[in-house]
Amino acid sequence: MNKPITVKCPTCGAPVEWNDKTPTRPFCSERCKLIDLGAWAAEEHAIPGDPVVDDLFSEDLSRH
């Protein structure tokens, strides 16, 4: 029998088994999942890279 894969919850660090019985993986709970989502929404997390210029929603300051 294979040993289950265990990862750390990215929010609280609790051990989480990586299998179909853990629907919130890699998070240990729905609470930790929502805390992480809130951090993304508050822009506390970001994917590194160059800023994206969106012509539709960006204001053209040269016209003012």
> Residues marked as binding for Zn(2+)?
9, 12, 28, 32
| Annotated binding-site positions | 9, 12, 28, 32
Q: Give 10-15's long-range contacts (Cβ < 8 A, gap of 24+).
A: 10/36, 11/35, 11/36
- In 3D space, the residue among 13, 14, 17 whose CA is nearest the CA of residue 5 turns out to be 17
